[in-house]
Amino acid sequence: MNSKGPSPSTVERALGMKQRKRKKGFKLWFETAAAKITKVAGSSTAFLLAVVVIIAWAVTGPIFHYSDTWQLVINTGTTIITFLMVFVIQQSQNKDSLAIQLKLNELIAAEERASNRLIVVEDLSQDELEVLKKFYIRLSELAREQNDLHSSHSVDEAKDVHEFKRRLRANDEAKENEEAQKK
């Protein structure tokens, strides 16, 4: 992969291979079902349906004399639904997360000044991520000190670029002072 990202033909070949090796069976069914269930479960209709079920359950309390069985019905139902939804939502989140990572990787690969080491940042340990976080916090502090919140730097070149910009600004200020003194 070059600094401009993969060529369209590379991407097209990769996608073509994906199409030839189409998922089959349970894996395809689960991915499709998870996407649909997640979409439906996150809708206002699903929420309204859940509220109606709870109200219906509460209304039937006096009919069943608030028995243990009456309580067990709602407890068992909600537990089963919650248990299954954990897997469905996690599958959808994993797929969405991967898609976002790939989109960000493409942006990093396409930007020649960005550090390509960040393409696999999700594979770093928590300690390594904390080190990077401190680095970016320091970059933000440098920008704040220079009243330049719009500058951006890669991990590899941040200090050099910051120093270069600082020297340019100092030179510009010196020139402005010289011109002001001449007038």
- Selection from 127, 169, 178 nearest residue 148 by Cα: 169
Q: Are residues 98 and 11 in the same domain?
A: yes
Q: Residue 47 to residues 6, 52, 53, 85: CA-CA distances in angstroms? A: 43, 9, 10, 14
The answer to whether residues 165 and 146 touch, using CB atoms and an 8 Å cutoff, is yes
91 with 162, same domain: the answer is no
Domain final residue pick, 78, 98, 118: 118
Q: How many domains does the chain have?
A: 2
Per-residue confidence (pLDDT) for residue 122, from 0 to 100 = 86
List the pLDDT tens digit at each of the 183 positions of the chain. 444 555 656 666 666 655 555 668 999 999 999 999 999 999 999 999 999 999 999 999 999 999 999 999 999 999 999 999 999 999 999 999 999 999 998 988 888 777 777 888 888 899 999 998 998 888 788 777 777 656 665 555 666 766 776 787 788 888 888 888 887
User: Alpha helices, DSSP H only, in the chain?
Assistant: 8-20, 25-41, 44-59, 68-110, 126-145, 158-182
Q: Which residue has the tokens 């537990």?
A: 79
Same domain, 95 and 10: yes
Cα separation, 163 vs 152, in Å, equals: 13
Q: What is the pLDDT of residue 3?
A: 47
Give yes or no: residues 84 and 146 share one domain: no
The pTM assigned to this predicted structure is 0.59
* The residue to which tokens 């928590």 are assigned: 126
Residues 133 and 81 placed together within one structural domain of the fold: no
Contact 156, 112 (CB under 8 A): no
Q: Are 91 and 160 members of one domain?
A: no
Q: Which amino acid is at 178?
A: E
> Which of 118, 137, 168 lies at the terminal end of a domain, its last residue?
118
Whether residues 103 and 154 fall in one domain? no
Domain extent for 175: 124-183
Domain end position, chosen among 90, 118, 146: 118
Whether residue 147 sits in one domain with residue 62: no
Instruction: Check whether residue 81 and residue 144 sit in a common domain.
Output: no
Task: Judge if 25 and 104 occupy the same domain.
Answer: yes
- Residue whose structure tokens are 């060529």: 7
34 & 97 share domain: yes
Rounded to an integer, what is the distance from CA 25 to the centroid of its chain? Answer: 29
The closest alpha carbon to 117, from 164, 149, 151, 157, belongs to 157
